[in-house]
Amino acid sequence: MMGYVIEGLDPENYTALFELDDAELAQRGAVRMTVDTHPGFPCRVTLEDATPGETVLLLNHASRTDAGPYRTAHAIYVREGAAAAARYVNAVPPVFGPRVLSLRGFDAGGMMVSAMLAQPGAADAGLQQMFARPEIIEVDVHNASRGCFAGRARRWENVSRETL
């Protein structure tokens, strides 16, 4: 089995946004929402679906920031009160489970070298298949239907030991 790590986004990047009023959020291209269905509001910090009644922000997130052809930004949700980034080692987060996912494998130069769809419940098998290719060092996971960034899996040996 090929080892990998999936981590949520750093909550410190979003905490102060919850203190802004709706007009200030709109100036930043963000929207405050109250969760009304489950699943449906996948938090990119906790890697869980928010529950009805919770407050989330819908905002744009640049998931690939290199200057190459695969530079990508799309909408994400972040739930209020998300205090710590989730971390999954050799396991997929709950938010991946019920969704069809687009898996996009990248090499060290930021080039996409493989892509596939994973059906609900098949994300781990898809990640294992991607990481079986030695040139793939990370896999970006997106929700297939809406295209939103869902998370990034990194090959275990490419994870900084300081974060373990």
Pair 136, 106: CB distance under 8 Å: yes
Give the domain range for residue 88: 4-163
Phi/psi at 146 (5° precision): -105, -15
Pair 102, 63: CB distance under 8 Å: no
Beta bridge partners of 4: 155
Cα 34 from chain centroid (whole Å): 20
pLDDT in 10s for each residue of the chain, 164 residues: 568 999 999 999 999 999 999 999 999 999 999 999 998 899 999 999 999 999 999 999 999 998 889 999 999 999 999 999 999 999 999 999 999 999 999 999 999 999 999 999 999 999 999 999 999 999 999 999 998 999 999 998 766 544 44
Residue with tokens 């290719």: 133
Number of domains in the chain: 1
Q: What residues contact residue 162 under an 8 Å CB cut-off, 6+ apart?
A: none
Phi/psi at 55 (5° precision): -100, 135
The pTM for the full model equals 0.90
